[in-house]
Chains A and B, each alone.
Chain A
Amino acid sequence: GAVVSQHPSWVICKSGTSVKIECRSLDFQATTMFWYRQFPKQSLMLMATSNEGSKATYEQGVEKDKFLINHASLTLSTLTVTSAHPEDSSFYICSAKDRGGGSPLHFGNGTRLTVT
Protein backbone atom coordinates (compact mmCIF):
# COMPACT_ATOMS: atom_id res chain seq x y z
CA GLY A 1 0.00 0.00 0.00
CA ALA A 2 0.87 3.66 -0.19
CA VAL A 3 3.46 4.71 2.36
CA VAL A 4 4.14 8.17 3.69
CA SER A 5 7.30 8.72 5.66
CA GLN A 6 7.46 11.61 8.11
CA HIS A 7 10.65 12.65 9.81
CA PRO A 8 11.55 13.28 12.57
CA SER A 9 9.09 11.40 14.74
CA TRP A 10 9.90 13.66 17.65
CA VAL A 11 11.98 16.76 18.21
CA ILE A 12 12.82 19.01 21.12
CA CYS A 13 14.03 22.50 20.38
CA LYS A 14 14.71 25.72 22.22
CA SER A 15 12.40 28.66 21.97
CA GLY A 16 13.32 30.94 19.07
CA THR A 17 14.83 28.25 16.87
CA SER A 18 13.36 26.77 13.71
CA VAL A 19 12.41 23.18 13.07
CA LYS A 20 11.87 21.43 9.76
CA ILE A 21 9.61 18.42 9.34
CA GLU A 22 9.78 16.33 6.19
CA CYS A 23 7.01 14.34 4.59
CA ARG A 24 7.74 11.93 1.75
CA SER A 25 5.49 9.72 -0.30
CA LEU A 26 7.57 6.62 -0.91
CA ASP A 27 5.75 4.69 -3.58
CA PHE A 28 3.38 7.11 -5.22
CA GLN A 29 3.30 10.65 -6.49
CA ALA A 30 1.50 12.99 -4.17
CA THR A 31 0.08 15.91 -6.07
CA THR A 32 -1.43 17.23 -2.88
CA MET A 33 -0.17 17.02 0.68
CA PHE A 34 -1.93 18.20 3.79
CA TRP A 35 -0.48 19.30 7.10
CA TYR A 36 -2.48 18.79 10.25
CA ARG A 37 -1.99 19.70 13.87
CA GLN A 38 -3.49 17.57 16.59
CA PHE A 39 -3.92 18.60 20.20
CA PRO A 40 -4.23 15.90 22.87
CA LYS A 41 -7.44 13.92 22.61
CA GLN A 42 -8.73 16.14 19.83
CA SER A 43 -9.35 15.84 16.14
CA LEU A 44 -7.04 16.80 13.33
CA MET A 45 -6.91 20.49 12.54
CA LEU A 46 -5.99 21.25 8.95
CA MET A 47 -3.22 23.81 8.80
CA ALA A 48 -2.50 24.00 5.10
CA THR A 49 -2.80 22.26 1.77
CA SER A 50 0.35 21.88 -0.25
CA ASN A 51 0.33 21.42 -4.00
CA GLU A 52 3.46 20.51 -5.89
CA GLY A 53 5.03 23.47 -7.57
CA SER A 54 2.70 26.08 -6.16
CA LYS A 55 2.23 28.05 -2.98
CA ALA A 56 0.51 26.36 -0.09
CA THR A 57 -3.01 27.30 0.86
CA TYR A 58 -3.30 28.08 4.54
CA GLU A 59 -6.39 27.72 6.67
CA GLN A 60 -7.79 30.71 8.44
CA GLY A 61 -5.87 31.55 11.58
CA VAL A 62 -2.68 29.74 10.55
CA GLU A 63 0.30 32.09 10.20
CA LYS A 64 1.96 31.38 6.88
CA ASP A 65 5.13 33.21 7.91
CA LYS A 66 5.44 31.02 10.96
CA PHE A 67 4.59 27.70 9.35
CA LEU A 68 6.48 27.63 6.08
CA ILE A 69 5.46 24.90 3.68
CA ASN A 70 7.41 23.85 0.64
CA HIS A 71 6.27 21.19 -1.82
CA ALA A 72 9.18 21.12 -4.23
CA SER A 73 8.54 17.71 -5.77
CA LEU A 74 5.79 15.16 -6.17
CA THR A 75 7.20 13.14 -3.31
CA LEU A 76 8.37 15.69 -0.76
CA SER A 77 6.74 18.41 1.28
CA THR A 78 8.32 20.16 4.24
CA LEU A 79 6.89 22.13 7.12
CA THR A 80 9.22 24.56 8.88
CA VAL A 81 8.14 26.00 12.19
CA THR A 82 10.03 29.27 12.39
CA SER A 83 10.99 30.97 15.64
CA ALA A 84 9.24 28.27 17.61
CA HIS A 85 7.61 29.05 20.93
CA PRO A 86 6.26 26.74 23.62
CA GLU A 87 2.72 27.22 22.35
CA ASP A 88 3.81 25.62 19.08
CA SER A 89 4.41 22.38 20.93
CA SER A 90 2.06 19.87 19.41
CA PHE A 91 1.68 16.76 17.27
CA TYR A 92 2.00 17.51 13.57
CA ILE A 93 0.82 15.02 10.96
CA CYS A 94 1.34 15.12 7.25
CA SER A 95 -0.75 13.26 4.73
CA ALA A 96 -0.68 12.77 1.02
CA LYS A 97 -3.23 12.16 -1.64
CA ASP A 98 -2.38 10.26 -4.78
CA ARG A 99 -4.06 10.58 -8.14
CA GLY A 100 -7.70 9.70 -8.36
CA GLY A 101 -10.62 11.84 -7.36
CA GLY A 102 -11.79 9.90 -4.34
CA SER A 103 -8.57 8.40 -3.15
CA PRO A 104 -8.04 8.29 0.62
CA LEU A 105 -5.39 10.15 2.49
CA HIS A 106 -2.22 8.33 3.43
CA PHE A 107 -0.72 9.56 6.67
CA GLY A 108 2.75 9.89 8.02
CA ASN A 109 3.52 8.72 11.55
CA GLY A 110 3.43 12.25 12.91
CA THR A 111 5.99 14.46 14.63
CA ARG A 112 5.82 15.41 18.25
CA LEU A 113 7.34 18.86 18.65
CA THR A 114 8.30 20.12 22.09
CA VAL A 115 9.57 23.66 22.40
CA THR A 116 11.34 24.45 25.65
Chain B
Amino acid sequence: AQTVTQSQPEMSVQEAETVTLSCTYDTSESNYYLFWYKQPPSRQMILVIRQEAYKQQNATENRFSVNFQKAAKSFSLKISDSQLGDTAMYFCAYLLTTSGTYKYIFGTGTRLKVLA
Protein backbone atom coordinates (compact mmCIF):
# COMPACT_ATOMS: atom_id res chain seq x y z
CA ALA B 1 0.00 0.00 0.00
CA GLN B 2 1.10 3.53 -0.70
CA THR B 3 2.14 5.46 2.39
CA VAL B 4 3.74 8.82 3.05
CA THR B 5 5.88 9.35 6.13
CA GLN B 6 7.01 12.61 7.63
CA SER B 7 9.24 11.77 10.56
CA GLN B 8 9.63 15.27 11.96
CA PRO B 9 6.48 16.38 13.82
CA GLU B 10 7.95 19.79 14.65
CA MET B 11 10.91 21.85 13.55
CA SER B 12 12.16 25.36 14.10
CA VAL B 13 14.59 27.52 12.20
CA GLN B 14 16.02 30.98 12.61
CA GLU B 15 14.90 33.63 10.18
CA ALA B 16 17.14 33.76 7.07
CA GLU B 17 18.49 30.27 7.73
CA THR B 18 17.88 27.12 5.69
CA VAL B 19 15.78 24.18 6.82
CA THR B 20 15.04 20.79 5.29
CA LEU B 21 11.84 18.85 5.89
CA SER B 22 11.94 15.14 5.22
CA CYS B 23 9.41 12.93 3.50
CA THR B 24 9.58 9.31 2.48
CA TYR B 25 6.99 7.29 0.67
CA ASP B 26 6.31 3.77 -0.32
CA THR B 27 5.06 2.77 -3.73
CA SER B 28 5.40 0.09 -6.35
CA GLU B 29 4.54 2.47 -9.19
CA SER B 30 7.20 3.80 -11.56
CA ASN B 31 5.47 7.01 -12.51
CA TYR B 32 3.73 9.23 -10.01
CA TYR B 33 3.61 12.75 -8.68
CA LEU B 34 4.71 14.25 -5.39
CA PHE B 35 3.73 17.52 -3.79
CA TRP B 36 4.48 19.70 -0.84
CA TYR B 37 1.64 21.74 0.62
CA LYS B 38 1.79 24.46 3.23
CA GLN B 39 -1.01 25.12 5.72
CA PRO B 40 -0.49 28.40 7.61
CA PRO B 41 -2.56 29.35 10.67
CA SER B 42 -5.35 30.47 8.33
CA ARG B 43 -5.68 26.74 7.47
CA GLN B 44 -5.74 27.43 3.74
CA MET B 45 -3.83 24.69 1.95
CA ILE B 46 -1.31 26.17 -0.44
CA LEU B 47 0.69 24.28 -3.05
CA VAL B 48 4.40 24.82 -2.53
CA ILE B 49 6.01 22.58 -5.13
CA ARG B 50 5.29 19.67 -7.43
CA GLN B 51 7.58 16.91 -8.70
CA GLU B 52 7.01 14.41 -11.48
CA ALA B 53 8.70 11.12 -10.73
CA TYR B 54 9.91 10.55 -14.28
CA LYS B 55 11.79 13.85 -14.21
CA GLN B 56 15.21 13.50 -12.66
CA GLN B 57 15.68 17.22 -12.21
CA ASN B 58 14.68 18.48 -8.80
CA ALA B 59 11.82 20.98 -8.81
CA THR B 60 12.49 24.52 -7.63
CA GLU B 61 10.16 27.39 -6.81
CA ASN B 62 12.01 30.48 -5.65
CA ARG B 63 13.25 29.76 -2.10
CA PHE B 64 11.74 26.27 -2.12
CA SER B 65 13.45 23.29 -3.66
CA VAL B 66 13.23 19.55 -3.34
CA ASN B 67 15.74 16.76 -3.15
CA PHE B 68 14.03 13.92 -4.96
CA GLN B 69 15.75 10.56 -4.57
CA LYS B 70 13.62 8.11 -6.49
CA ALA B 71 15.53 4.99 -5.60
CA ALA B 72 15.43 5.86 -1.93
CA LYS B 73 11.80 7.02 -2.21
CA SER B 74 12.69 10.25 -0.53
CA PHE B 75 11.28 13.69 -1.27
CA SER B 76 12.64 16.35 1.07
CA LEU B 77 11.80 20.05 0.96
CA LYS B 78 14.46 22.68 1.45
CA ILE B 79 13.47 26.19 2.41
CA SER B 80 16.21 28.75 1.94
CA ASP B 81 16.34 32.19 3.54
CA SER B 82 13.46 31.27 5.85
CA GLN B 83 10.92 33.99 6.49
CA LEU B 84 8.45 34.47 9.31
CA GLY B 85 5.65 33.87 6.83
CA ASP B 86 6.95 30.37 6.25
CA THR B 87 5.66 29.37 9.67
CA ALA B 88 3.07 26.70 8.90
CA MET B 89 2.28 23.02 8.77
CA TYR B 90 3.88 21.36 5.79
CA PHE B 91 2.37 18.26 4.25
CA CYS B 92 4.03 15.95 1.77
CA ALA B 93 1.59 14.28 -0.62
CA TYR B 94 1.69 11.50 -3.17
CA LEU B 95 -0.68 11.21 -6.10
CA LEU B 96 -1.84 7.69 -6.78
CA THR B 97 -3.57 7.06 -10.07
CA THR B 98 -5.37 3.80 -10.64
CA SER B 99 -7.43 3.06 -13.72
CA GLY B 100 -8.28 6.70 -14.24
CA THR B 101 -9.10 7.41 -10.62
CA TYR B 102 -7.03 9.64 -8.41
CA LYS B 103 -6.16 9.61 -4.74
CA TYR B 104 -3.85 12.02 -2.98
CA ILE B 105 -2.19 10.54 0.06
CA PHE B 106 -0.93 12.97 2.68
CA GLY B 107 1.74 12.57 5.29
CA THR B 108 1.13 13.46 8.91
CA GLY B 109 2.74 16.86 8.53
CA THR B 110 5.65 18.82 9.98
CA ARG B 111 4.96 21.92 11.98
CA LEU B 112 7.60 24.51 11.11
CA LYS B 113 8.20 27.58 13.19
CA VAL B 114 10.44 30.34 11.92
CA LEU B 115 12.02 32.29 14.76
CA ALA B 116 12.82 35.99 14.61
Contacts and interface: CB of A to CB of B under 8 A. Distances in A.
Q: Do A and B come from one complex?
A: yes
Interface of A: 32, 34, 38, 41-44, 46, 49, 57, 91, 93, 95, 97, 101-102, 104-107, 109-110
B91 interface: yes
Contact of B91 (A43, A46, A97, A109): A43
B106 interface: yes
A34 B45 CA distance: 13
Interface of B: 33, 35, 37, 42-47, 50, 52, 91, 93, 95, 97, 101-104, 106-109, 111
Nearest to B97: A101
A43 B107 contact: yes
Given A49-B103, A102-B33, A43 B108 contact: yes
Contacts of A46: 103-104
Contacts of B111: 41
B50 A49 contact: no
A104 B44 contact: no
Nearest to B33: A102
A48 to B, nearest CB: 11
Given A102-B33, A102-B50, A49 B101 contact: yes
Contact of A102 (B43, B52, B109): B52
Contacts of B95: 102
